[in-house]
A and B are shown apart, each in its own frame.
Chain A
Amino acid sequence: MMAAVSDETADAASVAVLPTRWRPFPIGLAARYAVLLGTILLTIFPLVRLVITSLRIPADIFAVPVHVIPASITWRQYVNVFTQYNLAGYLWNTIVVSLVTVVLVTVLAGPCAYAMARFRLPFHRVIVSLLLIMRMIPVVALAIPLFAVFANLGLLDTLTSLVLAHTAAKLPVAIWLLIGFVQDVPKEIEESAAMDGAGTLRTLVQIVTPLIAPGLGASAVITFLFTWNDLLIALTLASSENAQTLPVGLTNFVSQYGVDWGAMSAAGVLMVIPTLIFVWFAQGLLVKGLVTGAVRG
């Protein structure tokens, strides 16, 4: 199923080999372009709307009837979120938590996956099932015991607690993803390394790690984005601006006086930027992480 991961080279190759490629639905080409265009419009419309709202002057946001195209645009909301709201704090917390989590998960998941793929561990099947269950368990089932544990340790409302919780939550998925990549490494390479006198650790670091680099990249990208996007863990463990992240910050734009839509939209747009960067520059890794992890399940 790894072949199912759509990459452009495989596409181009199959088109070249099969010039008379069977056409799925020979309904008019125009109709198919209409479906493609409609899909694109439906996909981007809500996002465009979010950007437009974030650029409006407040009077325009609450104009009735609703205008689609704003009469004038302003950057004021983007300044407001930093001056009137603590967006800088939320942003900093989110960046720290996401980056530290990615480093921890990547460093831990590689050796775990290697051990799972290459050694006959006791309770192998049990461990694999537990990894899968951890992928399926509702996050709230983790958040409740973690809240109690961190309360006892005095770690509630700290970035440390968020990093530990996210690492625990994302690690099983990363290990699961990487086991497949390790299994794809030809055993002969490792055997010849062993013949040359390389120990397990050296084989892992110098031989296997470079070969599973695409897997490590995919798991890092997925871990980063899912940590960056998470609301529930941060909502549970962070009660003040000490540790609140961007998604929790979004809920703080709802006050007893109503919702500050302009500022909230600006914060939402800023929050989406890393996703756009990854989609643009690391599309291959993203798809690999999403599809490979899914297909092996």
Chain B
Amino acid sequence: MGPERPSAPFIGLNNYKETLTSPRFQQSLRNQLVFTAATIAVEIAAGMGVAVLINGKLRGLRAARTLLLIPPMIAPAVVGLNFRWLFNSQYGFIDALLADLHLPAIPWLSDPNWALVSIIIADVWQNTPLMVLLFLAGLQSLPQEPLEAAAVDGASTWQIFWNITLPLMRPVIVVALMLRVIDTFRTFDVVWLMTQGGPGGATSLVTVHAYLLAFQGVDFGHAAAVSYIALVISLVLLGVLYGLPWLRET
């Protein structure tokens, strides 16, 4: 059994050619790039903002650190089911909240564009806490002298953050960026529980597309091509990120 019969002829790069020109693949690649760019931008910006603001001696920070470890470590499948329920159009909490605020209901999971936004929100909820923890750890290992010197010289808080803290945090930011690029290109579970790639392929990320090709379309050749193209694209993205001058001078 299995579609990989020994007699399947070797066809060189044909599967890759056909994949690159397939509209379904192009749609999933577009979804993937939007998903990766949006989640990373929000997670890193929000993670850095929260980390900078709660860094220091605050009561409850230890407990908060423990809590923040929960979302990144629970099963993405559970996160997916939970957000599917929160975004439910009839009984979901979010639309009920919008109604209380006299705002129109949003067709979270049934509208193609909102569905993509929904999976981005679920991913942001799950992974921003990890960014906060990473950045908190980074902030606490920063040398204090340049910060104190700048404060003595009368630099504003914003100037200190922008000109000293952020450049010093560069290595940690690079790590966070790379981690998220790698992991967004592997995202499957959340999407599978929330939308299975629908409606109409609007949330099919590259791994979801590959899975559907392989195990619903029984087209292993193209599915394998899709997953290796995804790997190559994430490698290229990492290479580009690593080559950016701001990120390289560590």
Contacts and interface: CB of A to CB of B under 8 A. Distances in A.
Interface of A: 1, 3-6, 8, 10-11, 14-15, 18, 21-27, 31-33, 35-36, 39-40, 42-44, 46-47, 49-50, 53, 61-66, 68, 133, 135-141, 143-145, 147-148, 151-152, 225, 228-232, 235-236, 246-247, 250-251, 259, 261, 264-265, 268, 271-272, 275-276, 278-280, 283, 286-287, 290-291, 294-295, 297
Contact of B85 (A18, A225, A235, A265): A265
Interface of B: 1-4, 50, 52-58, 60-62, 64-79, 81-86, 90-93, 96, 99, 125, 129-130, 132-134, 136-141, 144, 147-148, 151, 157, 161, 165, 171-172, 175, 178-179, 182, 185-186, 188-189, 192-193, 206-207, 210-211, 214-215, 220, 223-224, 227-228, 230-231, 234-235
Contact of B1 (A10, A50, A151): A151
Given A24-B165, A35-B54, A148-B4, A229 B74 contact: yes
A297 B74 contact: no
Contacts of B57: 15, 21
Contacts, number: 242
B64 A148 contact: no
Contacts of A137: 186, 227, 231
* Nearest 6 interchain pairs by C-beta: A141-B227, A66-B96, A229-B75, A151-B2, A247-B77, A148-B4
B186 to A, nearest CB: 5
A294 B74 contact: no
Contact of A294 (B61, B175, B185): B175
A290 to B, nearest CB: 7
B50 A135 contact: no
A261 B161 contact: no
A66 B92 contact: yes
A145 to B, nearest CB: 7
A26 B85 contact: no
Given A6-B137, A40-B64, A251 B192 contact: yes
A21 to B, nearest CB: 7
Contacts of B90: 62, 64
A141 B188 contact: no
A35 B235 CA distance: 36
B125 A46 contact: yes
B175 A279 contact: no
13 contacts: A25-B52, A32-B53, A46-B125, A49-B86, A139-B186, A143-B211, A231-B192, A232-B188, A247-B78, A259-B84, A265-B81, A271-B75, A272-B74
Nearest to B238: A136
Given A21-B144, A40-B67, A250-B193, A138 B125 contact: no
Contact of B76 (A6, A43, A231, A294): A231
Given A43-B68, A148-B220, A279-B66, A138 B77 contact: no
A200 B125 CA distance: 47
B221 to A, nearest CB: 9
Contacts of B235: 136
A247 B82 contact: no
Contacts of A14: 140
Contact of A43 (B62, B70, B220): B70
A107 to B, nearest CB: 24
B76 A229 contact: yes
A144 B223 contact: yes
Nearest to A221: B73
A275 B70 contact: yes
Contacts of B84: 259
B75 A231 contact: yes
Nearest to B88: A261
Given A5-B137, A35-B54, A141 B210 contact: yes
Nearest to A61: B91
B60 A138 contact: no
A232 B68 CA distance: 25
Given A11-B140, A23-B56, A39-B50, A250 B132 contact: no
